[in-house]
Protein backbone atom coordinates (compact mmCIF):
# COMPACT_ATOMS: atom_id res chain seq x y z
CA UNK A 1 0.00 0.00 0.00
CA UNK A 2 2.68 2.59 0.83
CA UNK A 3 4.14 2.41 -2.69
CA UNK A 4 0.74 2.97 -4.24
CA UNK A 5 0.09 5.98 -1.98
CA UNK A 6 3.49 7.47 -2.84
CA UNK A 7 2.79 7.02 -6.54
CA UNK A 8 -0.60 8.71 -6.16
CA UNK A 9 0.97 11.64 -4.28
CA UNK A 10 3.65 12.07 -6.95
CA UNK A 11 1.06 12.02 -9.74
CA UNK A 12 -1.17 14.44 -7.83
CA UNK A 13 1.77 16.81 -7.27
CA UNK A 14 2.71 16.72 -10.98
CA UNK A 15 -0.91 17.39 -11.97
CA UNK A 16 -1.21 20.39 -9.60
CA UNK A 17 2.07 21.85 -10.86
CA UNK A 18 0.95 21.44 -14.47
CA UNK A 19 -2.34 23.19 -13.79
CA UNK A 20 -0.57 26.01 -11.95
CA UNK A 21 1.72 26.56 -14.92
CA UNK A 22 -1.26 27.07 -17.27
CA UNK A 23 -2.01 30.50 -15.84
CA UNK A 24 1.49 31.96 -16.25
CA UNK A 25 2.75 34.02 -19.14
CA UNK A 26 6.05 33.61 -20.92
CA UNK A 27 8.55 36.46 -20.85
CA UNK A 28 9.24 36.21 -24.59
CA UNK A 29 5.63 36.57 -25.77
CA UNK A 30 3.92 39.85 -26.69
CA UNK A 31 2.52 41.72 -23.69
CA UNK A 32 -1.13 41.27 -24.70
CA UNK A 33 -1.11 37.45 -24.96
CA UNK A 34 -1.10 34.69 -22.36
CA UNK A 35 -1.13 30.94 -22.59
CA UNK A 36 -4.09 29.07 -21.16
CA UNK A 37 -5.63 31.74 -18.92
CA UNK A 38 -8.22 33.95 -20.67
CA UNK A 39 -8.55 36.15 -17.58
CA UNK A 40 -4.83 36.90 -17.26
CA UNK A 41 -3.98 40.59 -17.13
CA UNK A 42 -1.64 41.77 -19.86
CA UNK A 43 1.73 43.11 -18.81
CA UNK A 44 2.06 46.85 -19.42
CA UNK A 45 3.99 47.87 -22.49
CA UNK A 46 6.97 50.18 -22.23
CA UNK A 47 6.14 53.85 -22.47
CA UNK A 48 8.04 55.49 -25.34
CA UNK A 49 10.64 58.00 -24.24
CA UNK A 50 9.79 61.60 -25.16
CA UNK A 51 11.89 63.19 -27.85
CA UNK A 52 13.61 66.45 -27.09
CA UNK A 53 13.29 69.11 -29.74
CA UNK A 54 16.46 71.02 -30.49
CA UNK A 55 15.40 74.65 -30.97
CA UNK A 56 18.14 75.58 -33.44
CA UNK A 57 18.28 72.51 -35.67
CA UNK A 58 16.70 69.18 -36.42
CA UNK A 59 18.79 66.05 -36.20
CA UNK A 60 20.77 65.04 -39.21
CA UNK A 61 21.24 61.47 -40.21
CA UNK A 62 19.76 60.58 -43.54
CA UNK A 63 16.15 60.77 -42.50
CA UNK A 64 13.75 60.54 -45.39
CA UNK A 65 11.29 63.04 -43.97
CA UNK A 66 9.98 65.51 -46.53
CA UNK A 67 11.51 68.96 -46.56
CA UNK A 68 9.58 71.61 -44.65
CA UNK A 69 7.66 74.08 -46.79
CA UNK A 70 6.56 77.68 -46.49
CA UNK A 71 7.50 81.23 -47.38
CA UNK A 72 10.31 81.39 -44.84
CA UNK A 73 11.84 77.99 -45.61
CA UNK A 74 14.88 77.92 -47.87
CA UNK A 75 15.90 74.53 -49.27
CA UNK A 76 19.55 73.93 -50.14
CA UNK A 77 20.57 70.88 -52.16
CA UNK A 78 24.34 70.46 -52.17
CA UNK A 79 26.48 68.38 -54.48
CA UNK A 80 30.08 68.49 -55.60
CA UNK A 81 30.63 71.47 -55.97
CA UNK A 82 27.51 73.57 -56.18
CA UNK A 83 24.54 74.62 -54.07
CA UNK A 84 21.04 74.62 -55.59
CA UNK A 85 18.74 76.90 -53.61
CA UNK A 86 14.97 77.11 -54.13
CA UNK A 87 14.63 80.87 -53.51
CA UNK A 88 16.75 83.97 -53.35
CA UNK A 89 14.67 86.02 -50.91
CA UNK A 90 12.60 85.53 -47.76
CA UNK A 91 10.68 87.75 -45.37
CA UNK A 92 12.78 88.95 -42.46
CA UNK A 93 12.27 87.11 -39.18
CA UNK A 94 12.61 83.42 -38.34
CA UNK A 95 13.80 81.43 -41.35
CA UNK A 96 14.32 77.68 -41.66
CA UNK A 97 17.33 76.62 -43.70
CA UNK A 98 16.78 73.02 -44.85
CA UNK A 99 19.95 71.35 -46.12
CA UNK A 100 20.18 68.10 -48.10
CA UNK A 101 23.46 66.57 -49.22
CA UNK A 102 22.98 65.12 -52.70
CA UNK A 103 26.69 64.66 -53.41
CA UNK A 104 29.33 62.15 -52.34
CA UNK A 105 31.40 64.60 -50.24
CA UNK A 106 30.41 65.98 -46.81
CA UNK A 107 28.75 69.44 -46.98
CA UNK A 108 27.05 72.07 -44.82
CA UNK A 109 25.56 75.55 -45.15
CA UNK A 110 26.76 78.62 -43.31
CA UNK A 111 24.80 81.87 -43.56
CA UNK A 112 26.33 85.21 -42.57
CA UNK A 113 25.68 88.93 -42.77
CA UNK A 114 24.17 91.74 -40.65
CA UNK A 115 25.70 90.34 -37.47
CA UNK A 116 24.36 86.84 -38.15
CA UNK A 117 26.58 83.81 -38.62
CA UNK A 118 25.13 80.33 -38.23
CA UNK A 119 25.94 76.97 -39.82
CA UNK A 120 24.26 73.61 -40.19
CA UNK A 121 25.96 70.38 -39.25
CA UNK A 122 28.35 68.91 -41.77
CA UNK A 123 26.38 66.03 -43.27
CA UNK A 124 27.20 63.08 -45.49
CA UNK A 125 25.57 61.96 -48.75
CA UNK A 126 21.80 61.46 -48.35
CA UNK A 127 21.63 63.16 -44.96
CA UNK A 128 19.66 66.28 -44.07
CA UNK A 129 19.80 68.99 -41.44
CA UNK A 130 17.91 72.15 -40.75
CA UNK A 131 18.58 75.24 -38.72
CA UNK A 132 16.36 78.11 -37.66
CA UNK A 133 17.86 81.56 -37.82
CA UNK A 134 16.48 85.05 -37.24
CA UNK A 135 17.31 87.24 -40.23
CA UNK A 136 16.82 91.02 -39.98
CA UNK A 137 16.20 92.76 -43.32
CA UNK A 138 19.34 92.76 -45.47
CA UNK A 139 21.68 90.79 -47.70
CA UNK A 140 23.24 87.50 -46.60
CA UNK A 141 25.81 85.17 -48.07
CA UNK A 142 25.71 81.42 -47.76
CA UNK A 143 28.59 79.03 -48.31
CA UNK A 144 29.62 75.47 -47.71
CA UNK A 145 32.33 76.08 -45.12
CA UNK A 146 34.02 72.69 -45.56
CA UNK A 147 37.61 73.71 -46.39
CA UNK A 148 38.00 74.50 -50.10
CA UNK A 149 34.32 74.12 -51.04
CA UNK A 150 33.52 77.85 -51.16
CA UNK A 151 36.48 78.35 -53.54
CA UNK A 152 35.09 75.58 -55.75
CA UNK A 153 31.79 77.48 -56.20
CA UNK A 154 29.67 76.47 -53.24
CA UNK A 155 28.33 79.94 -52.38
CA UNK A 156 25.41 82.25 -53.03
CA UNK A 157 23.29 85.14 -51.74
CA UNK A 158 19.98 85.43 -49.90
CA UNK A 159 17.94 88.60 -49.25
CA UNK A 160 15.64 89.13 -46.27
CA UNK A 161 13.02 91.84 -46.91
State the Cα–Cα distance between residues 79 and 29, nearest whole angstrom.
48
Higher pLDDT, 17 or 108: 108
Q: Where are the domains of the chain?
A: 1-47, 57-160
Higher pLDDT, 31 or 9: 9
- Domain 57-160: CATH superfamily is Cupredoxins -  blue copper proteins (2.60.40.420)
- The model's pTM: 0.59
Reply yes or no on whether the pLDDT at 157 is more than 90: yes
26-83 pLDDT, tens digit each = 444 444 443 444 444 444 444 444 433 333 444 444 455 566 778 899 999 999 999 9
Reply yes or no on whether the pLDDT at 113 is more than 90: yes
What is the mean pLDDT of the segment spanning 96-122?
97
86-96 pLDDT, tens digit each = 999 999 999 99
State the Cα–Cα distance between residues 58 and 146, nearest whole angstrom.
20
What's the mean pLDDT when you consider all of the chain? Answer: 76
Amino acid sequence: MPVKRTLVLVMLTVSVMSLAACGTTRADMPPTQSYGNPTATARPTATPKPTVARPTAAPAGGNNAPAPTGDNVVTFSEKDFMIDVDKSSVKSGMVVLYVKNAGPSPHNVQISGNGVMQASKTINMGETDQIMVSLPPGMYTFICNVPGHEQLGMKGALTAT
